[in-house]
Amino acid sequence: MRILITGGAGFIGSHLADRLLGEGHSVIAIDNLATGHPRNIEHLAGNESFRFIKHDVTDYLYVEGELDVVLHLASLPSPVDYLKKPIPTLKVGALGTHKALGLARAKGALFMLASTSEVYGDPLVHPQAEDYWGNVNPVGPRGVYDESKRFAEAITMAYHRYHGLDTRIFRIFNTYGPRMRVDDGRVVTNFIAQALRGQPLTVYDDGSRTRSFCYVSDLVDGILRLLGSSENEPVNLGNPNEMTILEFAQTVQRLTGGGSELVHVVPTDERTKDDPQVRRPDISRASERLGWSPQVPLEDGLGQTIDYFRALLSHDRAR
Ligand code: UDP
């Protein structure tokens, strides 16, 4: 198949590109490098089945030739990024999704939307199943991301119902692994980078909020199973292994050698406003309809991720 990935130089997009190329498909990656990085795809230079186009998906989008699948991942998914760039966040979720849908329709391609657990907001139902409509504050700082993805889901379903476009929607829960951006401000990268630099791990507030972390290879596996299915309804993809942020900090502390302290920090900006208190996917739908469940234990995935950041940081120090 010939597959276009928006956000193809990003963390998840580049892992998807590797996996699809490995299965013999050809891949076109589109990215404006706002949060993606050329380093994530540099090993693909010279691969004849791979092409990179630097382009902002919120602008008119066209590629020559046939396309079988449009995988729309372009996004600013880190809370710190969307607080700094609220309007590009809204634009890529809304205008970017419209452009990507238009391209899929013009090519008669399958359209796959990367959505998010943030559509559930600060959830009042736990764990979150796909039929929960969520608890989102549209005018809060996270609203720019959450509402852009809710719009993206709505317009995807409109193209499906009105234009008969074949579509898939997957809701990604916290995912981690090599190629995350070291300065993306998320808990996984913050804690690992702090531990490797011998700095204290910054646990916001009392660390009692919960998340569950999915390793990137498990996520990619779920996305490809969804691609091969005929499931038009949204599907949660995440790891149901829930823990508090304090427990997560202690795990990173242990796996990096235990030398770093934990400090409780009360952020003075808006980064913890409307921060979901709990989050855990109900993955019954993915399990029943796709035969999918995550396989990689947290300690194994974190080990791989820590090795990646150790190499990256020592390379940066050497330069
Ligand atoms: N968090 C933290 N310390 C950090 C970064 C994040 O305690 O240095 C907390 C944050 O407040 C949230 C959780 O970790 O409750 C996950 O944050 P992240 O930014 O990774 O993404 P989110 O799951 O909120 O989208």
Check residue 173 and report its DSSP letter.
-
Q: Could you report the per-residue pLDDT of 77-121, keeping only the tens digit for each?
A: 999 999 999 999 999 999 999 999 999 999 999 999 999 999 999
Cα dist from 242 to 38, 230, 239, 277, 280, whole Å: 33, 29, 8, 12, 6
Note the pTM of the prediction, 2 decimals. Answer: 0.97
Q: Which domains does the chain have, with CATH numbers?
A: 2-318 (3.40.50.720)
Q: Could you report the per-residue pLDDT of 158-196, keeping only the tens digit for each?
A: 999 999 999 999 999 999 999 999 999 999 999 999 999
Per the prediction, the chain carries an average pLDDT of: 96
Q: Residue 137 pLDDT more than 90? A: yes
* pLDDT band at 319; cut points 50, 70, 90: low
Q: Could you report the per-residue pLDDT of 289-303, keeping only the tens digit for each?
A: 999 999 999 999 999
**For ligand 1, atom 13: residue with the closest CA:** 187
CB 276 within 8 A of CB 210: no
CB-ligand 1 contact for 246 (6 Å cutoff): no
- How far is Cα 274 from Cα 292, in angstroms, rounded to an integer? 31
**Letter string b/e over residues 128-156, b meaning 16 or more CB atoms within 10 A of that residue's CB:** bebebebebeeeebbbbbbbbbbbbbebb
CB-ligand 1 contact for 204 (6 Å cutoff): yes
pLDDT for the residue numbered 283: 98
**Considering the chain, what percentage of its residues have pLDDT values greater than 90?**
94
Which one of the listed residues 62, 120, 132, 145 is annotated catalytic?
A: 145
CB-ligand 1 contact for 181 (6 Å cutoff): no
Q: Could you report the per-residue pLDDT of 227-279, keeping only the tens digit for each?
A: 999 999 999 999 999 999 999 999 999 999 988 999 999 998 888 999 999 99
Least confident range of 50-54, 215-219, 254-258: 254-258
